Amino acid sequence: QSALTQPASVSGSPGQSITISCTGTSSDVGAYKYVSWFQQHPGKAPKLMIYDVTNRPSGVSNRFSGSKSGNTASLTISGLQPEDEADYYCSSYTSSSSVIFGGGTKLTVL
């Protein structure tokens, strides 16, 4: 099964908003409300930022939000801050009783 499709890179200036897309199929993203988003800084473990499409874990800034339409999920970061610069990955449950990740998106804060 191929990875979910994410843009390789996105960028934005401090204070701006950016959106990262995550495209799957009707067997994963489109079929379930089980999409998560992770933030990973260089040399660090990933951190859960969004789960079940729209939910934020305790302690995650409300500048991070998630949505889904059809086979595509999205992560929006508003009020960009320098510390948001990181790699972002989406994941989804699949109909094959597995978990699939996206290829990752490098966010650059200009």
Partner 1 sequence: QVQLVESGGGVVQPGTSLRLSCAASGFIFSDYGMHWVRQAPGKGLEWVAFIWYDGSSKYYADSVRGRFTISRDSSKNTLYLEMNSLRVEDTAVYYCARAGSGGWYLVEYWGQGTLVTVSS
Q: Which residues bind partner 1 (CB under 8 A)?
A: 1, 3, 34, 36, 38, 44-48, 51-52, 57, 89, 91, 93, 97-104
Looking at beta carbons only, is 3 or 19 nearer to partner 1? 3
Minimum gap (Å) between residue 16 Cβ and partner 1: 25
Minimum gap (Å) between residue 105 Cβ and partner 1: 10
Looking at beta carbons only, is 78 or 106 nearer to partner 1? 106
Looking at beta carbons only, is 36 or 65 nearer to partner 1? 36
3-state secondary structure the chain: CCCEECCCEEEECCCCCEEEEEECCCCCCCCCCCEEEEEECCCCCCEEEEECCCECCCCCCCCEEEEEECCEEEEEECCCCHHHCEEEEEEEEECCCEEEEECCEEEEEC
Say if CB 75 and CB 50 are below 8 A apart: yes
Minimum gap (Å) between residue 88 Cβ and partner 1: 11
Minimum gap (Å) between residue 13 Cβ and partner 1: 26
